Structure 1
Amino acid sequence: MCRGALAAGPLLLAGMLGGQTASGVLAAIGAMLAGINDRPGSRRASVQRLGVPALAGALGLFLGTCAGQGLAAVPLTLALTGLGLVAGGVSAVGPVASAAGTQLLVAAAIGAGMPAAENGWQRALAFLAGAGWLLALRLALPSPGSLAGDFRFDGERAAVAGVYDAIAALLDAVGGEDATARRAALTAALDHAQDALAGPRLRRYTGSAAERRLHARFAAALPLAEAATALYWAGEAVPARAAQGPRRLAAAVRGDRGTGPLPAPHRSAPALRALDDALLHAADAFDRGDGAHRGLLARRRGFRHAVRAALGTGGREYGMRVALCFGASAAIAQALHHARWYGQHEHWYWLPATAVFLVKPDLGPLASRVLCRAAGTVLGALVFAALAALLPRPAGLVALVAVCGAVIPVATRHFAALTAAVTVLVLALVMAGGEPQASVSRIGETLLACVLVLVVGHLPMPGERGGGVRARLAAAGSAADAYLVHVLGESGDRAERWALRREAYRTLAEARTAIAVAAAELPALARHTEGTDAVAEVLERLVDTTTACAVHLDETGRLTPRHLRRLRDALGELERRGMRVPVGTAAVA
């Protein structure tokens, strides 16, 4: 909230005081969009999370400005449609790519439709300066409560400590009703810590002592998580003090200190022996202080993965839907802009910009986000209309922009609240730029965009519907196959095994999220992904069983009939549900 208050409002004020109000407005828009992507977490990860979408937004503003100044209405609409197709496909790669695709299209619409005397490069630099200012605040300002220590790594420390806390919570829940939810929470904690430590290095080859220590402590958590998952699979309650060790390790990470004494071990079962061995290795890594840095024991998704996701069934389906929404909304908006009977319609870029946010599937089910967008826009427009009649100008508008910037980080928890805050901020920027009050047109165009996206969202598309869900499920199946083949092949490379395990659980969690969103759609859309939740559940059992097999093989060198039976049951059920079992898995099993 502090960063948000110091971003858009001061940038707008600086532009107005310097006689560059238009540039100040664009810089404030850049800071606003970066603020929407600003999340709690590590500073280094924020460089990618905020920086990549900002660069995409600056490119979109440049392209949109050039297209708007040089093309007539029909060629401009075709150009925006093609840009929507590319950005939609790229958005299927992941969260950062989705944010980048969104900012690319929103900024392109603004550049094409907002009249200005500046050229494309000047507008792009102003936008980039605003986003860069917020990123600089993110890197420079300490988090609350972190002033006493090295606050550069407070987000990373909290993420790694969260992994140890999640391990302890899973151990407490083993054999109980909450065990499955705790195992899912452990996966989420590991994903968050992996992302937190995956940002750009402060030094290219060797990081600081604190950085190496954090990497070593995260690596030490991986075998602990593996042993805890094996105990969860066995389903037998473990002694209460088994969770004390991970909790003390979590406290040591938060305090950036040694562990102190750890509870006495329990070695009555293979998984418990593995847990105690992992705890001893973790204590050794903590006591070394500096920690031998062996790197993140998890695979980083590369260029080929991104291309496959963008050009796969999910990317193609989403790209076509975004292109159709973006292009149709731009065409309708320009037709209204040139229609004499419609009256003044200066902000035609609002319609395609709104459609871009509405068509994003990672913001929730289609019907839900449309209703939230409509309600949030109406509320925000009414609030702004009331405030605009009371506040002095321009000081009151600058203060309102600063307040809305501070509210956005809290409002991101609900799409309707975020829409309301952004609506007030955008209307304040429009008025600060010298244009008249535009609450009524903002409401009308948002409702029109809602109708358009609802229609396009339910239109049949070439290929199989639900392609994004099925693509993620196929990726989870391939990752589970690679993990199982490695474990049953009895390779001694534990680092590779932990990397494969992380990839299996991560892709499975992504598939689960996509399935949950699809299941919450209206029946006309939800029916296309029926049965995928059952397949994900079987894959989850397969990965859990593979983890239990890995731990048991480490301790005894052989598998029990129970392990083999559970493997065969999971593989057989996958075949019955129509999911092809890879040749490698079938042969090894």
Structure 2
Amino acid sequence: MPRPRSDRSPVSRRVFVLPPWLGHAFRAQRGPVPWSAVVRGGLAAGPLLLVAVLAGQASVGVVAAIAAMLAGINDRPGSRRAAVRRMGVPAVAGAVGLAVGTYGGERLGAVGLTLLLTLVGLLAGSVSAVGPVASGAGTQLLVASAIGAGMPLPETGWERAVAYLAGAGWLLVLRLALPSPGSFVGDFRFDGERDAVASVYDAIAELLDGAGTAHAHARRASLTAALDHAQDALAGPRLRRYASSSAERRLHAQYAAALPLAEAATALAWAGAAVPARAAEGPRRLASAVRANTPTGPLPAPSRSVPALRALDDALLRAAEAFDRAEGGNDLHTRRRSLSSLVRTVLGAGGREYGLRVALCFGASSAVAQGLYHSHWYGQHTHWYWLPATAVFLVKPDLGPLVSRVLCRAAGTVLGALLFAGFAAVLPRPEGLVALVAVCGALIPVATRHFAAQTAVVTLLVLALVMVGGEPEASVSRIGETLLACAIVLVVGHLPMPGQRGGGVRARLGAAEHAAQAYLTHVLREADSHGADSQGADSHGADSRATRWTLRREAYRTLAEARAAIALAAAELPPLARHSEGTEEVAGALERLVDTTTACAVHLDDSGRLTPRYAQQLAGAVDELAVLRRVS
């Protein structure tokens, strides 16, 4: 007997999805625990503070511990040489800000100090548009200038700056001196660099496995990220230049050998056809050889049935030669931006918009804080500088969309303040508070994976430092000032600014388009040269190909930066997100143009000319981009 038909159709239940501006607040980075960074964090702020307290210089220890804490936020996975710039440049900016804020607070009235801090905010915000290191430097410049202007310390401005540099420098010394787990293969100083280069070869193998599948696009993006990370890992200052020249050059040559492999793998993924599994074995063996610092041994050769596979086979042969040589050439193509390019970024649409917004937030929060302080709203507390310092972190777009930042900051502050109130009631002073600072320093490398967790740990650490410095417990005022800073940043973040909104996103998209056009122009110039030279590709030598790989790297890197900015802007509230509408389509067209250019370059090396099919696809990609640019 058939069952009676139900009135409800068997439609799958809808899954509720949070809007992007709210869902971002619940996302966290994943990965293994960075135990080496945890150890460094535990040996930084806490021991510095303990030594200062025992020496009767608690205020100096507080400044050094603050610097170590901020440097710990920048202590990310990567190479030692990259850490010098990533941690050192912001520390120097923070020391300058501390001195400027100290002397400004001593010699200027409330109005003059507010104007000074507003100008510092304009400068730091504009410079932050250059990149991650500049953004970190801008953050520490602003935070330290607020601390210098408002924290009651007996030391002079230059003494505070020296203490600040000592605190950040101590953590940097730990980063350079302490080996990481598993870094004892060969020269332990190259552990981060070696792992970064090996990850490039792994990403090439993954892309070859994903060719012809739905995973190809995501794996090509992963390859770009791996190349960016390796490029940054090798681009810093050399360590003991003369003693390590052989290992240094060999590592650079291993990275350079990955560039033609990445080019061939991208061309194969662009073609959309599956690649024999044997093709990915060579890059995987190269990855193992980099990690173990050993010769490659024999590499399985892929079939040579199509131009991209022939290019892959040739690149594997050149890589094997580079790996087996005792000393490789220093063929690293680093990303160097000229001074004029940096100035254009600072003064461009993105720099102007971000600079104005930071200046307004920092200046307004400084004015409000000083007004409340002079009206005795703070009572016995004298840390009005917390309000502008909190606004600095809230106004930074690289920490997430605006509403997500505000929600995470508020939740993390409340949690951290409540936890500290409990600890303060039971911990002995000052030894218990010093131990709490050490524990929080160790937790920072893990807490940086989510802004709310980072805020909670930093709140605990800062409140402990305040009490060690001689001030009363301040959990309640910390919550109040954070909520007030959230309100100020929310208002300023939605204010209309001169010029086109979404300037930061469009500036990065413009940089990506410029890099893609430069890459395309070079490949077309190569095609014209091939057509005029009957000897084909070999007559153009390695220099032209090296230039092409450098341009290709810049095109994919700037494109990845633009996509990251677009994804961040799309997660803002609708009134802000609408200003970047259409940029995702332009980025997609740019990506297709760069992929097609790469495929054409590989075919050009193989045959010496572009067939009508390749020329037509390249022209179609150019036309598609032109149409989308006119619409957007």
| TM-score (norm: length of structure 2) | 0.90
Q: Give 1:584's aligned residue.
A: none
Corresponding position: 1:546 with 2:582 = no
Could you tell me how far apart the structure 1 residues matched to 2:66 and 2:413 are?
17
Residue from 233, 245, 249 that aligns with 2:282 = 245
For 1:549-560, list aligned pairs within 5 A. Answer: 549-560=600-611
Could you tell me how far apart the structure 2 residues matched to 1:198 and 1:191 are?
10
Q: Deviations over 1:480-522 (max 9, x none)?
A: 0000010011163111000000000000000000000000000
Equivalent AA in structure 1 for residue 81 of structure 2: R
Q: Give 1:227's aligned residue.
A: 264
Moved over 4 A (4+): 203-207
Corresponding position: 1:335 with 2:386 = no
Equivalent AA in structure 2 for residue 469 of structure 1: V
Q: Does structure 2 retain, via aligned residues, the 8 Å contact 1:313–1:471?
A: yes
Q: Deviations over 1:166-189 (max 9, x none)?
A: 000000000001000000000000
What displacement does 1:579 show? 5.1
What displacement does 1:355 show? 0.2
Q: 1:579 to 1:153 in 2, by over 3 A?
A: farther
Q: Give 1:586's aligned residue.
A: none
Equivalent AA in structure 2 for residue 575 of structure 1: A
Could you tell me how far apart the structure 2 residues matched to 1:568 and 1:525 are?
34
For 1:1-40, list aligned pairs within 5 A. Answer: 1-40=38-77
Q: Does structure 2 retain, via aligned residues, the 8 Å contact 1:298–1:502?
A: no
Find the residue that maps to 1:121 and give its secondary structure: helix
Residue from 104, 126, 140 that aligns with 1:89 = 126
Could you tell me how far apart the structure 1 residues matched to 2:301 and 2:354 are?
54
Equivalent AA in structure 1 for residue 592 of structure 2: R
Q: Give 1:321's aligned residue.
A: 357
What displacement does 1:307 show? 1.0
Equivalent AA in structure 2 for residue 576 of structure 1: V
Could you tell me how far apart the structure 2 residues matched to 1:26 and 1:112 are?
13
Q: Does structure 1 retain, via aligned residues, the 8 Å contact 2:381–2:471?
A: no
Q: Give 1:120's aligned residue.
A: 157
Corresponding position: 1:402 with 2:453 = no
What displacement does 1:297 show? 2.1
Equivalent AA in structure 2 for residue 534 of structure 1: E
Instruction: Return 5+ residue gaps in structure 2 as ranges.
Output: 1-37, 530-539
Q: Does structure 2 retain, via aligned residues, the 8 Å contact 1:298–1:500?
A: no
Equivalent AA in structure 1 for residue 285 of structure 2: R
Q: Give 1:170's aligned residue.
A: 207
What displacement does 1:578 show? 2.5
Count of residues in Structure 1 that have an aligned counterpart in Structure 2: 580
Could you tell me how far apart the structure 1 residues matched to 2:461 and 2:58 are?
15
For 1:161-240, list aligned pairs within 5 A. Answer: 161-202=198-239, 207-240=244-277
Corresponding position: 1:486 with 2:486 = no
What displacement does 1:279 show? 0.3
Equivalent AA in structure 1 for residue 554 of structure 2: E
| TM-score (norm: length of structure 1) | 0.97
Q: Give 2:386's aligned residue.
A: 350
Q: Does structure 2 retain, via aligned residues, the 8 Å contact 1:170–1:228?
A: yes
Q: Does structure 2 retain, via aligned residues, the 8 Å contact 1:336–1:345?
A: no
Equivalent AA in structure 2 for residue 520 of structure 1: A
Find the residue that maps to 2:629 and give its secondary structure: coil
Could you tell me how far apart the structure 1 residues matched to 2:344 and 2:610 are?
36
Q: Deviations over 1:374-417 (max 9, x none)?
A: 00000000011101111111110000000000000000000000
Q: Does structure 1 retain, via aligned residues, the 8 Å contact 2:369–2:387?
A: yes
Could you tell me how far apart the structure 2 residues matched to 1:369 and 1:70 are?
34
Q: Does structure 2 retain, via aligned residues, the 8 Å contact 1:574–1:580?
A: no
Q: Deviations over 1:312-337 (max 9, x none)?
A: 00000000000000000000000000
Q: Does structure 2 retain, via aligned residues, the 8 Å contact 1:64–1:108?
A: yes
% same residue: 76
What displacement does 1:345 show? 3.9
For 1:517-532, list aligned pairs within 5 A. Answer: 517-532=568-583
Q: Does structure 2 retain, via aligned residues, the 8 Å contact 1:7–1:133?
A: yes
Q: Does structure 2 retain, via aligned residues, the 8 Å contact 1:298–1:498?
A: no
Q: Give 2:552's aligned residue.
A: 501
Q: Give 2:503's aligned residue.
A: 467
Could you tell me how far apart the structure 2 residues matched to 1:252 and 1:368 are?
43
Residue from 289, 306, 321 that aligns with 2:326 = 289
Q: Give 2:9's aligned residue.
A: none
What displacement does 1:148 show? 5.0
Q: 1:229 to 1:148 in 2, by over 3 A?
A: closer
Superposition RMSD in Å: 1.3
What displacement does 1:363 show? 0.7
What displacement does 1:210 show? 1.1
What displacement does 1:565 show? 2.1
Q: Does structure 2 retain, via aligned residues, the 8 Å contact 1:337–1:344?
A: no
Equivalent AA in structure 2 for residue 456 of structure 1: V
Could you tell me how far apart the structure 2 residues matched to 1:482 and 1:298 are?
17
Q: Does structure 1 retain, via aligned residues, the 8 Å contact 2:85–2:133?
A: yes
Query: Is the deviation greater in 332-341 or in 515-524?
Result: 332-341
Find the residue that maps to 1:41 and give its secondary structure: coil
Residue from 401, 410, 415 that aligns with 1:374 = 410
Q: Does structure 1 retain, via aligned residues, the 8 Å contact 2:185–2:292?
A: no
Q: Deviations over 1:75-117 (max 9, x none)?
A: 0000100110000000000000000000000000000000122
Residue from 296, 305, 312 that aligns with 1:268 = 305
Could you tell me how far apart the structure 2 residues matched to 1:518 and 1:318 are?
13
Q: 1:162 to 1:342 in 2, by over 3 A?
A: closer
Find the residue that maps to 1:558 and give its secondary structure: coil
Q: Does structure 2 retain, via aligned residues, the 8 Å contact 1:90–1:98?
A: yes
Q: Does structure 2 retain, via aligned residues, the 8 Å contact 1:142–1:151?
A: yes
Q: Deviations over 1:328-387 (max 9, x none)?
A: 000000000011355334110000000000000111100001100000000000011101
Residue from 421, 424, 428 that aligns with 1:392 = 428
What displacement does 1:573 show? 1.6
For 1:50-69, list aligned pairs within 5 A. Answer: 50-69=87-106
Instruction: Return 5+ residue gaps in structure 1 as ranges.
Output: 582-589
